[in-house]
Amino acid sequence: MIAVILIAPYVLVHYHVLRWFLSWLGACSPWFKQKKIFIPICVVYTYLSLSLGIAIFVPNGSVERATHIMGNYVLGFSMYIAMSVAVADIVHLIRKWWLKKYNKKPSRRFFIISGAITLIVILVVGLYGVINARIIRRTAYDITVPKVVAGLASLKVILIADTHMGYNIGVDYIEDLVNKINQEDADIILIAGDIFDNNYDALEDPKRLSELLASMKSKYGTYACYGNHDVDETVFAGFTFKRGDKPIADLRMDQFLKDAKITLLRDEAVLIDDKFYVYGRPDLSKPGRGIDVRKTPEEVTAGLDASKPIIVIDHQPKQLDELAAAGVDVDLCGHTHDGQMFPGNILTWLMWDNSYGYEKFENMHNIVTSGAGLYGPFMRVGTISEYCPITIHFAQ
């Protein structure tokens, strides 16, 4: 529903931007006012701005994939274009008032220079965001759980989340991520949801991707929970179109995880080597796959041996106080992307008790990763793509 509501404003904003751009080009040179130049510019800009919508109607294949990827790049630039034009509109109104008040004529030179500066800023910020999004960084944490674990002084966990494999994230990106993880000598790898980007058919090469993930090295293996995008839904401009009241599960995703040697935990715990628990929660908003209502924090820990460390993977960082009160020792999450693009990282801090990084809730350690991948725009500004090695020390 949100996607449908935003279509009209999206089109109007781009129409307004195109008018500004054409006015600026015309001020730079009369050459741009010729129909043979003017019309192709309008056609190309219109195609680029609508590429996300066009991609939905293109049959599956290389053209559809290229259109989707291009649309995701355009979406990122569109955000900063819209912000820049909004600032330009405000400056224009103030300058118009100032010129009228002091009976001065508009300056063509001022318009050209200010437009050029705006264009350069958009390009620099956008290109930085695109390049930054491709760099996978290492963010390490060191925490202590005051429980005695026989024969285990510490545990090295690799937390990853939000790979969003699909149009943005393909084979090369996942290969880079796996190579970095395999240098860590991990005890266990935990994936906190949004493994897929809604559309299984968007995977570049499912067989190769599953082989890469299966090659991740750790002592105890890889465990995962699902997130809100691990369902089959159409995506437009970063928002999803629901099909009915319940999210549709794509069973190919489940088989993919089996092929990738990833154990999916669906509101259940597993006792690892009789030493510690890992509990995987279904997503808060879209539990799916036969689960209508997920277990409460009290039900999560009920029946577990409280003397052993309890590690929870939960896609969205919610119910943190409740999980702490229920006796969870470590809660690992993703979902927020840390806002992904400025000023989104400011807004996420207003929405979550912990939108990124480390926070302690009573005796529970909560770590929220900004994610290994991307959703929507192929861009990160003010945030990073990351995987998180977490060393958990136990009492001796």
Question: What would be the CATH architecture of the domain defined by 139-395?
Answer: 4-Layer Sandwich (3.60)
pLDDT of residue 200: 93
CB count in 10 Å sphere of residue 89:
12
Report the first-to-last Cα separation within the chain, whole angstroms. 54
69 closest CA partner among 140, 173, 146, 152? 173
Coil, strand or helix at 252:
helix
Strands 268-272 and 364-368: unpaired
| pLDDT tens digits, one per residue of 210-251 | 999 999 999 999 999 999 999 887 665 555 655 555 667 789
Q: What is the mean pLDDT of each run of 10 residues along the chain (396 residues)?
A: 69 89 91 90 92 83 88 91 88 83 80 91 95 97 96 96 96 98 98 94 95 98 96 67 65 96 97 97 87 93 96 97 98 97 91 95 97 94 97 93
Domain layout of the chain by residue ranges: 2-133, 139-395
pTM of the complete model beyond 0.85: yes
219 closest CA partner among 184, 260, 258, 256? 184
Residue 229 to residue 231: CA distance in whole angstroms: 5
pLDDT of residue 137: 98
For residues 331-363, b (16+ Cβ closer than 10 Å) or e, as one string?
A: bbbbbbbbbbbbebbeebeeebebbbeebebee
DSSP for 86-102 reads: HHHHHHHHHHHHHHHHT
Task: List residues bridging with 391 in a β-sheet.
Answer: 142, 156
